[in-house]
Amino acid sequence: MITRSTASWAAASLVVVLVGLTACASTPSASPSTNAPIPPVGPDMSADDGWIAFSANWESGDIMLVRPDEPAHRIFGADDDGILRVCPAFAPGGTRLAFGEASGDWESGWTDAALVVADVTPEGEATVVGEVALDTLTNPACPIWSPDGRWIAFGAHTAEGTPRLGSPEVWLFDTESGEITAIADLMITDIEWSPDGSELYLADNDGVLIYSMADGTRQLLDGTAAAQSLTVSPDGQTLALERRRINAADRFDLVLLGADGSNQRVIVSDYTQMHGLGPVWSPDGTRIVFQRSCDTTPDGAGGERPCSEEHDVIMITVADESQAMLPRPQVPDNDVEVVTWYPYSVTWSPDSSSLLYLGWPAPDDIEADFEWRDGLAIVSPDAASAPLVLYEGGIPVYIGRPMNVSQSWGASAQ
């Protein structure tokens, strides 16, 4: 069986969550604060030309950039500096990058949390333009940019012992004013902006909550209880929702529904999964991908064995709601003849032409003398070309799940 181990700032922004239908925001665990605004992107900044940002090294993550024609290089961090840097996310346009950082370790917990914002040049050089201290947080922030690049939302923990998968608060940072708003009394597992940035969708224990940025009102969508993750269509008209089955906490349905909760229908039923981002809509609006646990995988002796953490990627064609399992990517390897790439998470390139797998390569013969490592690979959704491995090494794969990994690819193709 395969098992996997596991500050002041120049500008910040936070998205607000709501509980109930039209109630006011609940009292946060810490008073909102105001910081200096982040300076706007300069006129000489152009698109980032396809950089992919990720965090490397389990114990003290470093922020790295990589793209298909260049090897990965570190832009923030140092060997053994004791700071975990995670969840890098590009703002729309691909020139501004945000990430979370904290001191400590996985066993004793995290302190000195901060949100960092940097500008990235087309050549892959980065300069910090803002750093916001988040002293009351006990988790590194995993930022999610609004479509207009003004706001940054992230799940927030303010007490020790809070679960990794689920945040009891959502904080919103306004990069223009420097104000931070905290919303409490939640347990959210996913955050998604509407395409125009006017609303925030939250997958909460009670269901999908919609927060209005215009007037602060909220709405709980009927029939969305046990929502775990969601994605919004590029035109803003439809949601794809991964929902836990009632009385079957380890099994899920994939549901399509209108953005107002109407016309709900299950398009994939009764599947299992252990990790992943849930559904992710392609930027061109034509397809959705999600992950589910596989049933069997080759055992190296010509037979099959049950899957453990291995997952398959399923693609939904939106026009007819049909589904197909993508071929498992296989690449040559120096240690064994060939390895199969299994994903922790999958997301789209900005131009919808490729998928980015954050995953690990596994040999069919699990008894082989094989060095386990996490990595990044670009995969064609139609298997038209061989996978392109971008990086292999330790990556903190769980901490941003399922909220922010989809913003790791700079949007230069848009």
What are residue 407's phi and psi, to 5 degrees? -100, 20
CB 300 within 8 A of CB 364: yes
What top-level class would CATH report for the domain 52-407?
A: mainly beta
Round the average pLDDT of the chain to a whole number and report it. Answer: 84
pLDDT at 43: 59
Before 28, cis peptide (omega within 30)? no
Question: Does residue 334 carry a pLDDT above 60?
Answer: yes
Residue 39 confidence class, pLDDT cut points 50, 70, 90: confident
Q: Where are the domains of the chain?
A: 52-407
Q: 95-114, pLDDT tens digit by residue?
A: 999 999 999 877 778 889 99
Tell me how far CA of residue 161 lies from CA of 101, 164, 174, 404, in angstroms. Answer: 19, 9, 28, 22
Between β-strands 238-245 and 388-393, what pairing exists: parallel, antiparallel or unpaired? Answer: unpaired
Round to whole Å and give the CA distance between 208 and 329.
34
Residue 48 is predicted with a pLDDT of 53
Q: Which residue has the tokens 């509407």?
A: 194
Residues 341, 359: Cα–Cα separation, whole Å: 7
pLDDT at residue number 255 = 97
Comparing 21-30, 128-137, 266-275, 330-339, the range with the smallest average pLDDT is 21-30
Q: How far apart are CA 17 and CA 397, in angstroms?
A: 25
Q: Which class for 267: exposed (0-12), middle (13-18), buried (19 or more C-beta within 10 A)?
A: middle
Least reliable range by pLDDT among 52-56, 265-269, 395-399: 395-399
